[in-house]
Amino acid sequence: MNSLRYLGTAAWLAIDSIRAHKLRSFLTLLGIIIGVASVILVGAAIDGLGAYAEQITAKAFGTNSFLVAQIASVGRLTRKQQLAKLKRNKRLRPEDMAYLREVAGDDVLYSLYQQRIGDVKADNETYEDANIIGASATLPDIRDVPVEDGRFYTETEEQYRQPVCVIGPDIADKLFPGVSPIGRKLRLSGIDLTVVGLLEKQGSSFGSSLDNPVYIPATLYFQFFGGRERGVLFGKARPNSGLNMEGALDETRSALRSHFHARPGEDDNFDVLTPDSVRSFVDQILAAITVVVVPVTAISLLVGGIVIMNIMLVSVTERTREIGIRKSLGARESDIMLQFLTESVLLSMAGGLLGLSTGALLAWVIHRASGATFQITTTYVVLAIAVSSIVGMVSGWYPARRAARLDPVDALRAE
């Protein structure tokens, strides 16, 4: 009970001292405010980047799906590695997907996927550098292809190479402003295509628009462009197959190894990519960034702690006579230490709370201005407040100890 009373008295005296020197207290807090705001802002940016990468991965892969390609890697390959993969790995062709559908199609959904950049036209308007994608009709069942209006093309339309397409909102806004594009014609490689679907607006990914695709049946794509580019194949377990992603991937790998004549014990002669491998790579990158960047931003907290120590030393000098009076009236060394430590910790905690608010406000302003993703997590909030409190305690220890050890007679003589 006495300890709580002493602590309450120390807190009251500390608050009274802070209020008596408002400007000096605020300037003392600036270092902690800037330090905590920096940690919060950087942490929110790192976590926001992680959440953004998660969203992009979900858009690229869908849920529990996988990708097979001649070359597929989440990290950058050297030229030597690329050449080795090109030499060893097989290029995926339409007949390879036909084989997979025949062998494993009862359990796994498959879709070919190839893309290139091209121009599309309608009337007198031209959209340059559209993302022309040739894909199977099963693609929306495998990964996220959000159709806002109309529909995706059917397997029958794909089988008979029907001239149909599904377009993104950027294409629609440019070629068909103010009207629905459904049922209208656009021209690609000299052929008129009927628009049967309009995609939802997706935004951008690392500076590239996600709203400019033109999806056409894979069979039509190969008719137009011959399938010379390296294509990929998306796969996903059928809902009623009883397989999870790993099971569907294992069945696919087994079928492809047999199809491509890979010998037992040899590496696959194709590449596989899963959402988990992408997330693992992104987590490694973010962890490396965190290890480097967060300690650098935390240096400002150290500077703030030094400022608090200097101000507390000045405060001890200014209040030497007060300390002498308190000691002569029976105050113990522990009482004096508690008073100055409490004042230092309160200053630092106040700076931490103000820094937290400032960091959150800056994150919101930057998000509103640029659209960048920021995500403030409990981890960084607790870290910022805990570190600021520790900085206050450490910074106030020496001034408090110095004040507590003052000789009361010498202190009373001070002017």
Taking the C-alpha atoms of residue 158 and residue 136, their distance in angstroms, rounded to an integer, is 7
Taking the C-alpha atoms of residue 193 and residue 289, their distance in angstroms, rounded to an integer, is 47
pLDDT single digits (tens) 90-144: 888 888 888 998 888 889 999 999 988 999 999 888 999 999 999 999 999 888 8
DSSP states of 367-381: HHHH-------HHHH
Taking the C-alpha atoms of residue 210 and residue 206, their distance in angstroms, rounded to an integer, is 10
The whole-number average pLDDT for the span 317-345 is: 70
pLDDT surpassing 70 at residue 243: yes
Q: How high is the mean pLDDT of the chain? A: 80
CB 177 within 8 A of CB 171: no
- The residue with greater pLDDT, 27 or 213, is 213
DSSP count for the chain of H helices, then E strands: 14, 12
Q: How far is CA 178 from CA 88, 122, 172, 175, 181, in A?
A: 51, 14, 9, 10, 9
CB 133 within 8 A of CB 111: no
> What pTM was computed for the model?
0.67
The secondary structure element, H or E, covering residue 265 is none
Give the end-to-end CA distance of the chain in Å, rounded to a whole number: 36
The letter for the amino acid at 254 is: S
CB 331 within 8 A of CB 380: no
The letter for the amino acid at 402 is: R
Q: Is 178 left (phi over 0), alpha (psi -120 to 50) or beta?
A: left
Confidence of residue 192 (pLDDT cuts 50, 70, 90): very high
Domain range annotation of the chain:
2-56+280-413, 90-269
- Pick from 32-36, 232-236, 238-242, 298-302: least confident: 298-302
Query: Which pLDDT score, from 0 to 100, does residue 1 have?
Result: 45
Q: How many CA atoms lie within 13 A of 169 on its CB side?
A: 14
E strands of 241-331, at which residues? Answer: 271-273
Q: How far is CA 26 from CA 256, 342, 348, in A?
A: 68, 17, 11
